[in-house]
Structure 1
Amino acid sequence: MIIVTGAAGFIGSNIVAGLNARGIDDILIVDDLSDGSKCLNLADLNFVDYMEYDDFIDALASGAELGPIEAIFHEGACSATTEWDGRYVMARNFTYSKTLHTWAVARAVPLIYASSASVYGMGPQFVEQRVAEKPLNMYAFSKFAFDQYVRAHPATNSQVVGLRYFNVYGPREAHKGGMASVARHFSRQVSESGVCRLFEGTEGYSDGGQLRDFIHVDDVVAVNLWLYDHPSVSGIFNCGTGHAQSFNEVADAVIAWHGQGEKRYIDFPEHLAGRYQSYTQADMGALRQAGYTDVFMNVAEGVPRYLDWLAARQLT
């Protein structure tokens, strides 16, 4: 059996879909369904069991045996970058992950977990080295802290991998609301008003010219499954495309898909000053050196693929 935590979330549900595409449905899904709308991410997927997030970790903390486990994909976390209750975030993201790590390593069960590019703060370096890590909020700090723990407690008998996700977009993110990708927001804006709203220029960048490493969730799943196929690979790796693209390029891809629309630039919010990543670009050298060779989609390829998926399900 394979365990996926955060299975009803964005990346977790796509990992379940990726496993299903391989004919794998012996999956224990774990999540907190306080927000019941997330169940829609799993309604078309196959699995054999479900556990609530808190019940699952309580079982592991008590030393429970869950039968033969092939691997754990740990995607569950408090992902709100606006959450400043540090005790809550650390309990959810750090302590929870430590308990899971201890259980998995003791049983030599491969653990592939979600870290975050947010650990790099404002950059300008985005390489898996301590000198580049400068978290700016509690979410980023909790991810940084667990990465530090993993580095300090290397597993000698099993795979442990952390993936620092950059700006992920794609199917099954509707439940994220305001935290959904800009591709989703731009598409909805064009559908409703014909206008994509982008931030005006900041910190030397032109209007809409801020740069991010946008990665389609299908590429994220491909990396996760490649690691599942290569249990000898351990470490902390960036998971982006290695190529920064502008918000203008995302908007242009959305407008091209709709065949209509225009861009409009709005004032940059004062509350984001000094806390906004105007530039991210994953250094993909470590993952490439580990053996990953697949080519990543750029936004001109990935955005229409995502919007096709939404259209096929009559979603916006």
Structure 2
Amino acid sequence: MKYIYDDLADKNILITGGAGFIGSNLALYFQKHHPQANVCVFDKFRDDTYFPSGNPTSLGHFKNLLEFHGEVIVGDLIKDLDKIKNRDFDYIFHQAAISDTTAMDQKLMLETNFEAFVNLYEIARQRGAMLIYASSAGTYGNSPAPNSLGVGEVPENIYGYSKLQMDVFARKILERDSQTPLIGLRYFNVYGEREFYKGKTASMILQLGLQALEHKKVRLFKHGEQLRDFVYIKDVIQANVKAIEARASGVYNVGAGVARSFNDIVEILKKHLGDFEVEYIDNPYVFYQNHTQADISLSEEFLSYTPRFSLEQGIESYIPEIVRIFETQVRAR
């Protein structure tokens, strides 16, 4: 599905974190719909290092890019921005970050997510590039929903704080220069194709689907009534691409605009995968968000962003990929 119709032929596009979930979807979107654009991926890729939680320190995976034919640059946000600082890019989509909300190394989180973003902004400014970056609903913490920009920005963990600092920096820049092409997109709970290599940090939609297929049983925190704004990957790509033609720079929410429960996910999955058991367990996370819902009114007005997938439609579209992952990755183990 093509979201803009301006000619991007010969435009230079950089996607940081391009081997990750959202970044790889962006890279393949541009490759398919704007084949004359020059798309470059910058990613650290994963190695054998892990956070204390057991999650990889990098979520970039080469298999997300098997269909990508553009340039790939291997680099760490903290150490290797010199590799791109003299390159001419028209658009930079900054998706790279430590996105593991259970990571507790505050120094590393801020260096990677915040300080590297400031340095990348300076590169974009010097090269005259438009910078579109990934923020997060984690900036709202447990503030009451619906979540509106500038209200209740009280993150509960260092990840959310690092993303809030990015937004604070962007707002200060825009206060000085409203013409700066700088847009932050606060993603809510994104799910969809190419998230498998996120492992334990993949969406609950994928995790529950695979649990149901493997065990005929899923586990939820008591009692599955927590509410989230689940947004399908194709709507997130839509928001990024439409940001190119935004009416105004700024920070915007990217969600479905409605809150749904984990029990809702279970009921939808049962329609596609058959019946299975649900076990409710205690929640060990004190910073857990119990209710998120994006106020997308400004996104609709200034980005022309309108979600196209309800939770039912998004899961239905995703089901063939969930089944494929189960057959090729889980059952084959």
TM-score norm. by structure 1 comes to 0.89
* Equivalence for 1:236: 251
Say which of 30, 37, 49 aligns to 2:42.
30
Tell me how far 1:192 sits from its aligned partner.
0.9
Q: Deviations over 1:100-127 (max 9, x none)?
A: 1111123321100000000000021411
Whole-Å separation in 1 of the counterparts to 2:158 and 2:303: 33
Whole-Å separation in 1 of the counterparts to 2:275 and 2:61: 30
Question: 2:114 touches 2:163 (CA, 8 Å); kept in 1?
Answer: yes
Matches within 5 A, 1:60-139: 64-67=85-88, 69-125=89-145, 126-129=147-150, 131-139=151-159
4+ residue segments displaced more than 6 Å: none
* Equivalence for 2:227: 211
Say which of 4, 10, 33 aligns to 2:21.
10
Whole-Å separation in 2 of the counterparts to 1:6 and 1:291: 23
Q: Deviations over 1:31-74 (max 9, x none)?
A: 111349710000112213423234641345xxx4213x120000
Tell me how far 1:231 sits from its aligned partner.
5.0
The residue type paired with residue 52 of structure 1 is G
Question: 1:109 touches 1:158 (CA, 8 Å); kept in 2?
Answer: no
Tell me how far 1:265 sits from its aligned partner.
3.1
Please tell me whether residue 180 in structure 1 is matched to residue 202 in structure 2: yes
- Answer with 301-310 or 108-117: which moved more: 301-310
Q: Which runs of 5+ in 2 are unaligned?
A: 1-11, 49-59
* Equivalence for 1:297: 309
Whole-Å separation in 1 of the counterparts to 2:234 and 2:301: 21
Question: 1:213 touches 1:241 (CA, 8 Å); kept in 2?
Answer: yes
Q: How many residues align?
A: 301
- Answer with 40-49 or 135-144: which moved more: 40-49
- Identity, in percent, stands at 31
Question: 2:246 touches 2:302 (CA, 8 Å); kept in 1?
Answer: no
Tell me how far 1:15 sits from its aligned partner.
0.8
Say which of 246, 265, 272 aligns to 2:279.
265
Please tell me whether residue 250 in structure 1 is matched to residue 265 in structure 2: yes
The residue type paired with residue 67 of structure 2 is D
* Equivalence for 1:204: none
Whole-Å separation in 1 of the counterparts to 2:47 and 2:317: 27
Whole-Å separation in 2 of the counterparts to 1:127 and 1:170: 25
Tell me how far 1:222 sits from its aligned partner.
0.7
Partner SS state of residue 67, structure 2: coil
Partner SS state of residue 183, structure 2: strand
Whole-Å separation in 2 of the counterparts to 1:77 and 1:123: 23
Question: 1:159 touches 1:231 (CA, 8 Å); kept in 2?
Answer: no
* Equivalence for 1:21: 32
Question: 1:166 touches 1:239 (CA, 8 Å); kept in 2?
Answer: yes
Whole-Å separation in 2 of the counterparts to 1:296 and 1:182: 20
* Equivalence for 1:193: 215
* Equivalence for 2:7: none
Whole-Å separation in 2 of the counterparts to 1:307 and 1:218: 14
Question: 1:71 touches 1:111 (CA, 8 Å); kept in 2?
Answer: yes
Question: 2:219 touches 2:278 (CA, 8 Å); kept in 1?
Answer: yes
Aligned pair in 2 of structure 1 residues 49, 188: CA closer, same or farther (>3 Å)? closer
Whole-Å separation in 2 of the counterparts to 1:158 and 1:232: 12
Whole-Å separation in 1 of the counterparts to 2:239 and 2:40: 20
- Answer with 134-143 or 146-155: which moved more: 146-155
Question: 1:105 touches 1:157 (CA, 8 Å); kept in 2?
Answer: no
* Equivalence for 2:73: 50
Whole-Å separation in 2 of the counterparts to 1:5 and 1:283: 27
The residue type paired with residue 173 of structure 1 is E
Question: 2:209 touches 2:322 (CA, 8 Å); kept in 1?
Answer: no
Tell me how far 1:209 sits from its aligned partner.
1.6
Whole-Å separation in 1 of the counterparts to 2:191 and 2:293: 15
Whole-Å separation in 1 of the counterparts to 2:266 and 2:257: 20
Whole-Å separation in 2 of the counterparts to 1:99 and 1:83: 22
Partner SS state of residue 298, structure 2: helix
Question: 2:114 touches 2:166 (CA, 8 Å); kept in 1?
Answer: yes
Partner SS state of residue 61, structure 2: helix
- Answer with 247-256 or 218-227: which moved more: 247-256
Whole-Å separation in 2 of the counterparts to 1:224 and 1:134: 25
